[in-house]
Structure 1
C-alpha cells in the first residue's frame, strides 16, 4: 500500500479526465472556461497504464473528476477501464450533472459504483444565479434515475456561500427527509482567482456542524476509502449530511487521497505546487517506471496545506484538478 513518511496510507485516487467545464459557477469559473492554450489530455492507452500502476500500488478507489468529466466523450470507456482493473473496488464520478439524465444508465452499466453531483441550490432561480445554467430539474431527474438503477452511493455537493445558499440549509434537510441521499456541504476554499469572492462568502463548516449537533444529528463512523467529509445521521431522516471543512484543525492528518491532472501530473495536495509529470512514462506504456515515480513522489508530500495562512499554491480555480 502507498504511504508517506508520516504514515498516511493512500487508497483513493482523484483522476481528472479534463479541465474543461461548461458551467460558470461564481465561486470557480464566473467568466466561464478559458482555453488559454492547447489541451493534450491523457489518451486511453495512457489511462490504462496509469490505472494499472495505481492498482498495483494498492489503490482501491478511483474518482473521475474534471472540470466536467461528462464533457469527455470517452467517459463511459474510462469508467469501464477502471471497473475492470484488478484491485479497483470502487469507481466514483463527480459531475455537474448537465448530461446525467441522458447518460446515467450507460455509466452505471460500465461499472460506476458511486455518484457525486454538484447541486449548489434546490431553488431553480438561485441555482441559475450560482451556476449560470437552467439545468436543476434535469439534474434532479437524473439523480432519481440513478436511484432507480440501484446506485447505492449517491451524494449531492453544495459549496457553502454566505450570500447565496447558506440560508437554504433547512430546505436541504427537508429534501433528504425521505431520500436515501447524502448532501455534502463543502466549505468555500480560496484560490488564486476568487480571493474577493472568498472574503465575501466564506463561512465555516464548523458553524453548520454545531447546528446539526444541536438538532440531534450524530456523527457517522467513517467507512473504508472514505474522503475527508464528516458525516451525520438523524433517526428521523433517511438521508445524511456531510461536511467538508478544509480549514478545520488537523484536516490533513487523515489524508488518504492523491490527485492526477488530465495532462498527466501527479498532485500530492490540491493546494500544492506544479505537480510531478508522469507523462513520459505514460506515453511509453512504462508500468514499472510509472509505479516507481509515484512511490518516489510521496517522500515529498507535506504534512498539511496552508490555507489558513491564505497560501493556495498554484491552484487558480477548482476546475484545474476537480477539487
Structure 2
C-alpha cells in the first residue's frame, strides 16, 4: 500500500529519476544549441541513488523510470539499473532514451534488470528526424527498437512530440508502422518551457487534431485503468500496436497524476512545471538519515498543487525538458 498520497487523494507509485542533464542531441524544441555544462555539482552517484530508491520503495513506490537529459551518457548506467532493480518492492525499471546507443548498450541494460523502454522518435522520415534532432541517427534508433522486441522487454513505447508544420502529417505512416509491431507510439503535445516561447507559439498543435484523425480512421479509445498514466490509449483491430495521446493542456490532465520526479542533483519536484524543488541530497549521504529522508518526502506531498499553470504561461523552474527529463 502506497504511503505517498497528496491532499487531492492522488497516490504516487511512479518515480521519474533524472540521471543527468546532459544530452548528445540538439532537438529543436529542447536544446537547439546543444547541452552547455554549468560547472555546478556533479549528478547523483550510485550510492545516493540506492538510498533514494530504497526510501521511495519503502513508501510504496514500485515503478522507476530513469531519464535525463540522455541517461545513456552515464557510463555507470548498467550499475545504476542493477542497483535499482534489486531494491525490494521495485517491480518495473524503465528508461527513456533518444535511442542512438541502443544497439550497443541495450543488451547490458536488459541483463542488469531493465524491463521497459521508451524511445524518443519524433519522425519516421530520416531527413525530418535529422532536422528535428540535429543528428542523422534514425537507422540506429530503429535497429535498437527491433532489438528491444527481440529481447522481450515487457514494454516498448515510442514518444513523438507533435510539431505543427514539422511532423504533424505523419499519422498515416505511423499507422502503417504499427500494423505489425506490438509497440505503443505516444504523441505528446509540445509544452511551453522557460526557453522555448517563440518556438512553442510557432509549432504547438492541439492533440485533439490527432484524436479526430484517429477516430475517423477507425481507431477506438481504450477504457482507462485505475492506475493509468497521462496517456489516452487508442487501438485498432487491424494493428498490433497502439497509439497514445499525452495532452497536458487538456481539461483535467492533472487529475490522474501518479508520478513524482527527482532531478539529477537530488531535488524532489512535485510537478514537472512546479516553481520549487525540495533538496533530498543532504539526506542521501548516509543510511542513518533514512528516517529523516522518509519524513521529508512524505511531508512535502502536502504542498503538491492540484494542477500546473501551463495555461497561464507558468513554466515554473523548467528551462527546458532536458533539465528534468520530461
Q: Same fold (TM over 0.5)?
A: yes
2:130 aligns to what?
A: 128
| Shift of residue 224, structure 1, vs aligned partner | 6.4
- Name the TM-score, length of structure 2 as normaliser: 0.97
1:81 aligns to what?
A: 83
Deviations 1:29-61 (A, max 9, x none): 000001122341111111111000000000010
CA distance in 2, matches of 1:107, 1:293: 31
Q: Provide the aligned length of Structure 1 versus Structure 2.
A: 323
| Shift of residue 281, structure 1, vs aligned partner | 0.6
- State the 4+ residue runs in structure 1 displaced beyond 6 angstroms: none
2:182 aligns to what?
A: 180
| Shift of residue 223, structure 1, vs aligned partner | 4.5
The match for 1:302 among 289, 300, 305 is 305
CA distance in 1, matches of 2:228, 2:67: 16
8 A Cα contact 1:67 1:322, kept in partner: yes
The match for 1:140 among 122, 139, 142 is 142
1:152 aligns to what?
A: 154
Given the superposition, is the C-alpha separation of residues 226 and 79 from structure 1 closer, same or farther in structure 2, using an over 3 Å criterion? farther
1:289 aligns to what?
A: 292
CA distance in 2, matches of 1:295, 1:252: 20
> 1:188-207 to 2 correspondence within 5 Å?
188-207=190-209
CA distance in 1, matches of 2:228, 2:48: 26
The match for 1:34 among 28, 33, 36 is 36
| Shift of residue 226, structure 1, vs aligned partner | 3.7
Deviations 1:157-215 (A, max 9, x none): 00000021101111111111111111100000000100000000000111211221222
The match for 2:315 among 312, 318, 322 is 312
- Name the TM-score, length of structure 1 as normaliser: 0.98
| Shift of residue 151, structure 1, vs aligned partner | 1.2
The match for 2:18 among 16, 23, 30 is 16
SS at match of 1:210: helix
CA distance in 1, matches of 2:156, 2:208: 23
Deviations 1:73-93 (A, max 9, x none): 111111111111111111110
- Is 1:57 the equivalent of 2:62? no
Deviations 1:122-170 (A, max 9, x none): 1111100000001100110011011111113101100000021101111
| Shift of residue 121, structure 1, vs aligned partner | 0.7
Q: Which runs of 5+ in 2 are unaligned?
A: none
SS at match of 1:166: coil
